[in-house]
C-alpha cells in the first residue's frame, strides 16, 4: 500500500513540470526515490573535532570510524547492517547527475583500511560504505559519518551538504567544551531547512566538569532561536569503556541509553512521521518557489493593470526628479568629506612626525651621533616609512568610507555603487636619504694642545702664588695645578664638541623629517584630489546610468498601458485558477507534518 504522502509528492512534481522548473522536479524525484527506499539514513554532522566519528563508534560499540588527532573524515561514511563485516569505496563514474542517482563503482577494501583509503582518494569518491552485523542497524538504519563542516567553499563541506539531501534524520554534534557557537546555530538552521528531524548531541561530557551548565545554556539558545530540537548529552568514551567492562552504571552515566532510546523511538519507530515531515519540507519549499513568481505575474496583470502602470510611470518620473535633486546633494557630501579627509590626514601626518622628532631630541640629548649613526639612520627611515604607511592606509580606508557615504545618497543603495579602486597607480615616491652631519674629530694631538693650553694658566697662577713663599715658579704644586687645569680643558672641550655634534644631528634629522613631511603631505593631497576626481567621475556616470534606467522604465510602463485588455483578463483567470490549485496542494502538504508552516492565500 502506497504511503499517504506519495500522491501529494507526485502532484507537486507534476506542478514543477507544468511550471517548467526542472531543478525542482529533479530534487523532488530524488527525494521520492529516497523515501521509497526502506533504509533510514541518520546523518551525523557538526564542525571538525567535535567527536562525530567516536559517537558513531559508541552507538554501534564497534571501531568502524577511525578517530584521532591526526585523522579526520574526508568523505561521507555510510555504516549499515551486513551479515559479515565489509567495506567499500564508492566512486562516481559520471561527470553529471545527482549524488543519489549517478552511476557509481564500488571498490572493496579491507574494513580496517577504509578511512586511510578514503582520505588518500577523497577527491574521486562519493562515499565510503561499511557493513557490520549490529542489531541497531538490522531494521534498515544507516548511520552516516560526515566530514567536518567548516569553510563553506571546501569540497568536504559541499559533500556534507549534498549528503544532507538524503537524510531522514540528523544528529548535530557539538562538544561540551563550550556552548553552541553562532556558526553551529547557523548550521543547525540550515540543516533544518533540508531535514526537520534534528537531534542535538552534546559530546565529551566526561572531559568537562561543568557540562550541565553548558547543556542548559544550549537549551536556552535553542529556545530563544525557536528551534524545536531535542538535546542529549553523552560521553562516547564512557560508553565504550562501559561496553568493555560491562558496567551498567557507567553506561547509564554515558547518556547513550537515552540517545539509543531516542533513535529507536523518534527515528526507527517513527519512519512514517519522518518521511512525512521530510516530504512536507521539500514540497513546501518547491511550492513556495512556484507560487511566488505566479503571484507576481498575477499582480502585473491585475484588472487595474492600466492604472497601476500609470502609477508606475509616475513613480519612475518621481524617481528621476529625485535623482536630479540628489545629484547636488551627493556632490556636496563628496566635496565636504574629502576636504575633511585631507585635513585630518595631514594633521595625522604632522602629529606622527612630531612624535618622531621628539624621540630624536630625547635620544640625542644623551647619545653621541659619532657612535651608531647608521643604526639611527635606519631607525629614522623605518619610523618614517611606518608613519607614511599608516597614514596612507588611513587615507584609503577613509576614502572607501567616503565612497560608501556618497553612494547612500542615491535613491537605491547597492554594494556595486561603490567603485572598486579610486587610487592612482603611482602612489608615493621616496624622499632623499638622510644627510649625515659633519662630525668634528677630536684627535690625540688636539687633545694634547687643548690640555697644554689649559695647563699653562694653572702652572702660571699657582707658580706665582708659591713664589711668594720662596718656591721656584715651576714646582710640584704648580705642575699639579697645570695637570688639573689641562684635564679640565680637555673634558670641557669634549663636552662642547659632543653638544655641537648632537645639535648637528638634531638639525639634520629635523631637516630630513621636514623634507619628508613636505613631500609626503603633497603626495597625500595629490592622492586625495585624485580620489575626489575619480569618485566624482564614477558617481556622475552612475547617476547618468540610473537616470537612463529610470527613463527606460518609464517608457516601458507607458508601452505597458497599451497592452490588450482581453488577453490580460484571460491570463489572469488562468493564473488565479493555477494559484488556487497550488494553494490547495500546499495545504495538503501542510497536513502531512502538521500546522508548522503557513503560506497566506
pLDDT of residue 451: 62
57 and 75 together in one domain? yes
3 and 106 together in one domain? no
86 and 32 together in one domain? no
Let me know: does 78 contact 104? Beta carbons within 8 Å.
Answer: no
Has residue 459 been placed in a domain?
Answer: no
Quote the mean pLDDT of the chain.
78
Question: CA 547 to CA 320: how far, in whole Å?
Answer: 6
Has residue 465 been placed in a domain?
Answer: no
554 and 572 together in one domain? no
208 and 341 together in one domain? no
Best CA proximity match to 155, nearest among 130, 192, 119, 115? 119
Percent of the chain with pLDDT over 90: 12
Best CA proximity match to 114, nearest among 73, 157, 166? 73
pLDDT of residue 597: 42
Look at residue 206 and tell me whether its pLDDT is greater than 60.
yes
Which residues lie across from 453 on neighbouring strands? none
Average pLDDT over residues 469-495: 71
Percent of the chain with pLDDT over 70: 79
pLDDT of residue 557: 62
135 and 222 together in one domain? yes
Band (pLDDT 50/70/90 cuts) for residue 44 is very high
**Cell 492600466 -> residue:** 306
430 and 395 together in one domain? yes
pLDDT of residue 202: 94
325 and 389 together in one domain? yes
Band (pLDDT 50/70/90 cuts) for residue 219 is very high
pLDDT of residue 598: 40
Band (pLDDT 50/70/90 cuts) for residue 203 is very high
Q: Return the higher-pLDDT residue of 534 and 418.
A: 534
Chosen domain end from 246, 269, 292? 269
pLDDT of residue 4: 72
Q: Return the higher-pLDDT residue of 504 and 71.
A: 504
Has residue 85 been placed in a domain?
Answer: yes
Between strands 104-108 and 86-92, the pairing is antiparallel
Tell me the pLDDT tens digit for each residue of 414-446. 555 556 555 555 545 555 566 666 666 555 666
Has residue 468 been placed in a domain?
Answer: no
What is the three-class DSSP state of 142? strand
Has residue 308 been placed in a domain?
Answer: no
Residue 535 has which C-alpha cell? 569618485
434 and 573 together in one domain? no
375 and 516 together in one domain? yes
CATH number at residue 158: 3.40.50.300
Query: What domain range is 591 assigned to?
Result: 1-36+275-300+564-601
Has residue 88 been placed in a domain?
Answer: yes
**Total domains present in the chain:** 3
Please tell me the least confidently modeled range out of 154-158, 467-471, 566-570.
Answer: 154-158
Please tell me the least confidently modeled range out of 128-132, 403-407, 548-552.
Answer: 548-552
Has residue 454 been placed in a domain?
Answer: no
534 and 389 together in one domain? yes
Element (H, E) at 363: helix 305-363
What is the three-class DSSP state of 209? coil
Has residue 464 been placed in a domain?
Answer: no
Q: How far is CA 492 from CA 59, 308, 443, 498, 531, in A?
A: 90, 97, 15, 10, 57
Please tell me the least confidently modeled range out of 1-10, 338-347, 406-415.
Answer: 406-415
Q: What is the pTM of this model?
A: 0.51
pLDDT of residue 232: 93
What is the three-class DSSP state of 173? strand
Residue 7 has which C-alpha cell? 500522491
196 and 181 together in one domain? yes
Tell me the pLDDT tens digit for each residue of 233-260. 999 999 999 989 989 999 999 999 999 9
Average pLDDT over residues 441-467: 65
Look at residue 156 and tell me whether its pLDDT is greater than 70.
no
Please tell me the least confidently modeled range out of 222-226, 270-274, 434-438, 566-570.
Answer: 434-438
Amino acid at each position: 500500500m502506497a504511503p499517504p504522502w506519495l500522491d501529494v509528492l507526485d502532484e507537486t512534481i507534476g506542478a514543477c513540470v507544468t511550471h517548467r522548473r526542472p531543478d525542482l522536479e529533479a530534487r523532488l524525484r530524488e527525494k521520492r526515490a529516497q523515501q521509497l527506499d526502506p533504509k533510514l539514513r541518520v546523518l551525523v554532522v557538526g564542525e571538525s573535532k567535535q567527536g562525530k566519528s567516536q559517537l558513531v563508534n559508541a552507538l554501534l560499540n564497534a571501531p568502524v570510524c577511525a578517530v584521532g588527532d591526526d585523522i579526520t573524515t574526508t568523505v561521507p561514511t555510510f555504516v549499515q547492517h551486513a551479515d559479515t563485516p565489509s567495506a567499500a569505496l564508492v566512486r562516481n563514474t559520471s561527470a553529471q547527475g545527482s549524488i543519489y542517482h549517478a552511476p557509481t563503482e564500488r571498490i572493496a577494501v579491507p574494513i580496517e583500511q577504509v578511512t586511510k583509503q578514503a582520505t588518500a582518494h577523497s577527491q574521486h569518491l562519493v562515499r565510503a560504505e561499511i557493513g557490520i552485523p549490529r542489531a541497531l542497524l538490522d531494521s534498515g538504519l544507516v548511520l552516516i559519518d560526515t566530514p567536518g563542516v567548516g569553510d563553506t567553499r571546501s569540497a568536504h563541506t559541499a559533500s556534507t551538504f549534498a549528503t544532507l539531501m538524503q537524510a531522514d534524520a540528523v544528529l548535530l554534534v557539538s562538544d561540551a567544551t563550550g556552548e553552541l557557537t553562532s556558526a553551529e546555530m547557523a548550521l543547525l538552521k540550515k540543516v533544518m531547512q533540508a531535514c526537520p528531524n534534528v537531534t542535538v548531541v552534546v559530546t565529551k561530557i566526561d572531559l568537562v566538569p561543568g557540562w550541565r551548565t553548558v547543556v542548559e545554556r544550549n537549551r536556552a539558545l535553542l529556545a530563544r532561536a525557536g528551534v524545536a530540537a531535542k538535546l542529549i548529552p553523552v560521553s562516547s568514551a564512557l560508553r565504550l569503556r562501559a561496553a568493555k567492562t560491562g558496567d551498567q552504571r557507567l553506561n547509564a552515566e554515558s547518556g547513550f541509553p537515552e540517545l539509543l532510546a531516542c533513535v529507536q523511538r523518534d527515528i526507527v519507530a517513527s519512519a512514517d512521521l519522518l518521511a512525512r515531515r521530510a516530504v512536507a519540507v521539500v514540497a513546501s519549499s518547491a511550492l513556495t518557489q512556484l507560487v511566488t513568481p505566479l503571484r507576481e505575474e498575477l499582480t502585473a496583470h491585475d484588472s487595474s493593470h492600466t492604472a497601476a502602470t500609470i502609477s508606475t510611470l509616475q513613480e519612475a518620473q518621481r524617481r528621476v526628479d529625485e535623482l536630479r535633486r540628489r545629484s547636488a546633494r551627493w556632490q556636496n557630501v563628496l566635496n565636504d568629506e574629502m576636504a575633511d579627509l585631507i585635513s585630518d590626514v595631514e594633521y595625522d601626518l604632522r602629529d606622527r612626525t612630531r612624535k618622531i622628532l621628539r624621540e630624536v631630541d630625547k635620544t640625542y640629548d644623551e647619545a653621541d651621533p659619532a657612535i651608531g649613526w647608521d643604526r639611527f639612520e635606519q631607525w629614522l627611515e623605518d619610523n618614517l616609512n611606518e608613519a607614511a604607511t599608516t597614514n596612507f592606509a588611513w587615507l584609503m580606508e577613509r576614502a572607501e568610507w567616503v565612497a560608501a557615504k556618497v553612494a547612500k545618497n542615491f535613491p537605491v543603495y547597492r554594494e556595486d555603487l561603490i567603485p572598486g579602486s579610486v587610487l592612482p597607480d603611482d602612489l608615493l615616491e621616496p624622499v632623499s636619504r638622510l644627510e649625515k652631519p659633519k662630525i668634528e674629530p677630536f684627535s690625540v694631538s688636539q687633545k694634547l694642545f687643548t690640555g697644554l693650553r689649559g695647563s699653562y694658566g694653572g702652572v702660571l697662577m699657582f707658580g706665582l702664588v708659591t713664589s711668594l713663599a720662596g718656591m721656584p715658579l715651576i714646582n710640584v704644586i704648580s705642575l699639579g695645578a697645570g695637570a688639573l687645569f689641562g684635564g679640565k680643558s680637555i673634558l670641557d672641550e669634549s663636552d662642547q664638541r659632543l653638544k655641537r655634534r648632537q645639535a648637528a644631528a638634531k638639525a639634520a634629522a629635523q631637516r630630513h623629517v621636514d623634507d619628508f613631511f613636505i613631500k609626503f603631505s603633497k603626495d597625500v593631497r595629490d592622492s586625495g584630489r585624485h580620489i575626489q576626481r575619480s569618485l566624482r567621475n564614477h558617481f556622475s556616470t552612475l547617476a547618468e546610468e540610473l537616470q537612463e534606467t529610470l527613463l527606460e522604465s518609464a517608457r516601458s510602463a507607458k508601452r505597458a498601458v497599451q497592452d490588450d485588455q482581453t488577453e490580460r483578463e484571460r491570463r489572469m483567470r488562468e493564473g488565479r485558477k493555477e494559484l488556487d490549485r497550488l494553494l490547495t496542494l500546499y495545504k495538503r502538504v501542510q497536513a502531512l507534518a502538521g500546522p508548522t508552516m503557513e503560506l497566506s492565500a
